[in-house]
Amino acid sequence: MRWMHFQILFFTMISFPVVSAVTPSVVLQDRPRSAVLHLSAGAPEVFIGETVTLTCRVPGEPSGWTFVWYKDGAPVQQLGTVGEGRYTLRPTLPHHGGQYSCQGLRARAWPQRSLPSEPISIRVTGGWVILQTPPQPLLRGAGATLTCRVRGNPRLQQVVFHKDGRVLARQSGPQLHLASLSPRDEGLYGCRATWGKRWGWKTAESPEVGVSVRDLLSEPVMEVLTETPVQRGQDLVLRCRAQLTPRRPGLRLRYSFQRGGQRLGVASSQDRHVVRSAAARHSGRYWCRATVDGLGLGKSSEPDNWKQLTNINA
């Protein structure tokens, strides 16, 4: 794997004495947390008349939040029932379909606002058959189960799963398991079910559902926040920008920074690192690494562009 390095150079030159100035201190502030939305009841694909409950929370800060709910990017007009971080659609109707997201608000010493959650798509159908998937996008390397459901849950004679018009499986059971997902699993999926009725057999097709696969962790990007050129004695502020895609409840990122082969401090949840009173000895190549806490999954920044930050002020 390639690394993203920033070449940071500090030069010292002989000059006349100057009056020393006070270097402003750098105060690191936590970035707003992202709200996390998940399905606590129902599925992304449901029949008319069923129930869907969405639950919103702000990880690490469970109390004191109220939530604003959005459908297709606009505040919802009380389509469902709101309470304690939950939004319930019951009974579901066709106009309930759409992209839902949420955002946390909290009033303390000053108003706080979380970042919006990743959206969850809800689809409501009045047909006989639906194909249910986990909330999108699915995670690369993980498994996923697709379920072909028939209204009323009758005993099935045959289920045919297909992707992009090509048959994947013919079976009697309603579930298809996809193992170790990769981008090649992306596409349009559907199913055709046959079941018995009093007068014989009935066959119906589900609407197609798009399946997308994403990495859990994006490629980190190293940023230098200090204005350049960096002056000797100035605080050098570095930031490692990465995100969980999609954001999952309970998962946290830890960041570490290195100069050459030297680790700068210990990994922490802080996405910034400050080199106090920069001097010539701080010259070198800087890079960062983001790791999913508890999973051992990590990625490092890439070396696509090295930056030379030159200090010409003695």
For the segment 248-281, what is each residue's pLDDT rounded down to a tens digit?
666 789 999 988 778 888 888 889 999 888 887 8
Place of tokens 């939530």: 67
Q: Which pLDDT score, from 0 to 100, does residue 301 have?
A: 87
Whether 127-214 shares its CATH topology with 221-309 is answered yes
pLDDT reported for residue 304 = 54
* CB 232, CB 314: distance < 8 Å: yes
Q: What is the third-level CATH fold of 221-309?
A: Immunoglobulin-like (2.60.40)
What's the pLDDT score for residue 135?
87
b/e for 163-178, b at 16 or more Cβ within 10 A?
Answer: beeeeeeeeeebebeb
Contact 239, 272 (CB under 8 A): yes
Domain ranges of the chain: 33-125, 127-214, 221-309
Q: How far apart are CA 117 and CA 34, in angstroms?
A: 6
Q: The domain 33-125 belongs to what CATH superfamily?
A: Immunoglobulins (2.60.40.10)
The residue assigned the tokens 């109390």 is 63
Domain 127-214 has CATH 1.10.10.10: no
Which pLDDT score is estimated for 164? 97
Low-confidence ranges of the chain (pLDDT < 70): 1-32, 62, 78-81, 109, 228, 246-250, 303-314
Q: Which residue has the tokens 């690192």?
A: 273
- Round to whole Å and give the CA distance between 150 and 193: 7
Q: What is the pLDDT of residue 84?
A: 77
Q: Can you give the pLDDT at residue 188?
A: 98
Measured between alpha carbons, how far is residue 292 from residues 183, 222, 242, 269 in Å? 21, 17, 10, 10
